[in-house]
Amino acid sequence: MAIARSHDLAEGDTLRRDFGWALGVVFRAYLKAANEATGTLPGGPRGHQVLEAATRQPPVSQSVIAQEIGIDRTVMTYLLDDLEREGLLTRRPDPADRRSRQVVATDKGVQRLEHLRALIARAQDYVLQDLDETDRTALRCLMQRSALKLDSLDPTAPCNVIQDITDSNCP
Amino acid sequence: MAIARSHDLAEGDTLRRDFGWALGVVFRAYLKAANEATGTLPGGPRGHQVLEAATRQPPVSQSVIAQEIGIDRTVMTYLLDDLEREGLLTRRPDPADRRSRQVVATDKGVQRLEHLRALIARAQDYVLQDLDETDRTALRCLMQRSALKLDSLDPTAPCNVIQDITDSNCP
DNA sequence: GAATATAATCTGTTCAGCAGAACATCTGTC
DNA sequence: GACAGATGTTCTGCTGAACAGATTATATTC
């Protein structure tokens, strides 16, 4: 269960108690493992996420995918170029709005994706190797809930983390 | 408690079920909020983590800090330059090994750090805004456990996420 | 039909990770 | 004690990605 094991930590080790630090360590470890897992896939882990998005019905546009997985729209352009060149997905104009392009995984892309998922699952296991099955499920669940909430917020709005404190400090 | 709320998700939305996706969303949101919180601090959130590490006793070297917070040693050089220029920390040769330099926070740095911690805490709250206090604690705890484990691994070793599967596919 | 807005692309800049070299210092061996 | 190799820091050059701005094609609004 989720019991603190603070005996692993020295008294003044404030860095390792920081949530931001833990988040960074886990994120980088995931990137490392997922990079191994995705192998030659263009874009590595990001290529995998694009491919996941490309299987959605109804199809989504480039800019929607870019926003969802947090990469710049200009980077999305050449990332899709690479994935399209490998025949894993196609871009086609949205019949309802020909400015935008729908990103659709090909059969080959779907096949590759199914293979990828097994490898990505092992990358997840690597990252969560110190947790038992119950805790893994709990962590995945809590992260997903937080992510869904954050994903629903306006990406252009500030987080307003400084307001109250500066107010109280500046009478 | 940590109950799945899959009713938020469309049937084929495999992207949003991916742990890597959730991790990325939360990590980027933290970076965004922590960037606001750290304001003019050199290096932003990374500057904060360096400052946390600089308060440790006994003092640690540059390369140790770089490894712990996951930044390149060459980047650490000019990040420390900036923090030192602001008078928040000092570098001094380790008396026991004069190749390496101990990074020590100044009084000004400690003061700044205490102010920063309150702001960083608000950034954490922003990221975990959809969780109640119980779930926040659980998530922080699980992340910390995973991070401590990953931090203890050899950073040069591969994650070995592909071995078994490729073996079974190549008889 | 003209003005404005949006999706994708292209260009240029900046920052950070990475590899490699240089330099100082430490460790181990003779 | 002298020497060779290892390690910590800094510097240089390269690459990948974020970001801002301009361009083009298409939609929407008046």
B20 vs A31: CA distance, rounded Å = 8
Contact B16, B9 (CB under 8 A): yes
Q: Do A69 and B148 touch (CB under 8 A)?
A: no
Count CB atoms within 10 A of the CB of residue A32: 20
Q: Say if residues B136 and B128 touch (Cβ distance below 8 Å).
A: yes
- Give the other-Cβ count within 10 Å of B53's Cβ: 25
Q: Which residues of B touch A13 (CB under 8 A)?
A: 56
**Local structure of B141: helix, strand or coil:** helix
The two tokens of residue A65 are 């995918």
Q: Percentage of chain A with pLDDT > 90? A: 79
Q: CA–C1' distance A101–D20 (Å)?
A: 23
Give the whole-angstrom CA distance, residue B148 versus residue B14.
29
Q: Which of B19, B29, B147 sits opposite A22 (nearest CB)?
A: B147
- Contact at 8 Å (CB) between A161 and B123? yes
Beta carbons of B24 and A70 less than 8 angstroms apart = yes
- Placement of tokens 């997985």 in the chain: A69
Cβ contacts of B128 on chain A, cutoff 8 Å: 146
pLDDT of residue A163: 65
Interchain proximity A34–B20, CB inside 8 Å: yes
Q: Report the C-alpha gap between A98 and A140 in whole angstroms.
A: 38
Would you say the C-alpha torsion A69, A74, A77, A80 has a positive or negative sign? negative
- One-letter amino acid for residue B38 of the chain: T
Q: How far is the CA of A59 from the C1' of D6 (A)?
A: 56
Per-residue tokens: A72: 């710049």
Which positions 56-95 of A are in contact with B (Cβ < 8 Å)? 56-57, 68-70
Write out pLDDT tens, residues B129-152: 999 999 999 999 999 999 999 999
Residue of A nearest to B125 (CA): A161
Any B CB within 8 A of A14 CB: yes
User: What local confidence, expressed as pLDDT, does residue A161 receive?
Assistant: 86
The answer to whether residue A135 scores a pLDDT higher than 90 is: yes
Q: What is the pLDDT of residue A171?
A: 33
Chain B interface test: which of A17, A142, A164 (most B C-beta within 10 Å) = A142
As a whole number, mean pLDDT of residues B94-121 equals: 94
Residue A21 CA to residue A8 CA, distance in Å, equals 16
Q: How far is the CA of A124 from the C1' of D7 (A)?
A: 34
Considering only CB atoms, which chain B residues are within 8 Å of A27? 23-24, 27
Architecture per CATH, A16-157: Orthogonal Bundle (1.10)
* Burial of B121 from C-beta contacts in 10 A (0-12 / 13-18 / 19+): middle
CA distance A63 to chain B (A): 15
CB B50 within 8 A of CB B88: no
The pLDDT, as a whole number, for residue A3 is 46
Residues of A within 8 A of B55 (CB-CB) are: 12, 14
3-class state of residue B97 by DSSP: strand
Quote the CA–CA distance of B120 and B128 in Å, as a whole number.
13
B73 touches strand D (CB under 7 A): yes
* Over residues B13-17, mean pLDDT: 93
Could you tell me the distance in Å between the CA of residue B46 and the C1' of nucleotide C14? 18
Length of chain A: 171
Residue B62 predicted with pLDDT over 90: yes
How far does chain A reach from its first CA to its final CA, in angstroms? 45
CA angle A117, B17, A66 (to 5 degrees): 90
Cβ pair A159, B126 in contact under 8 A: yes
CB contact under 8 A, B23 and A143: yes
Enumerate the domain spans of chain B: 42-144
A chain contacts of residue B32, beta-carbon cutoff 8 Å: 159
Q: What is the mean pLDDT of residues A65-83?
A: 93
Q: Report d(CA A89, CA A68) in Å as an integer.
A: 18
Total residues belonging to chain B: 171
- Report CB contact under 8 Å: B147, A21: yes
- Is the pLDDT at B6 greater than 70? The verdict is no
Q: Detail the protein residues whose CB sits closer than 7 A to any atom belonging to strand C.
A: A 61-64, 73-74, 76-78, 80, 91, 97, 99-101; B 43, 46, 70-72, 74-75, 97-99
Give me the pLDDT at residue A168, please: 42
Write down the CATH number for the domain with range B42-144: 1.10.10.10
Residue % of chain B over a pLDDT of 70? 90
pLDDT band at B164 (very low <50, low <70, confident <90, very high): low
DSSP 3-state of A95: coil
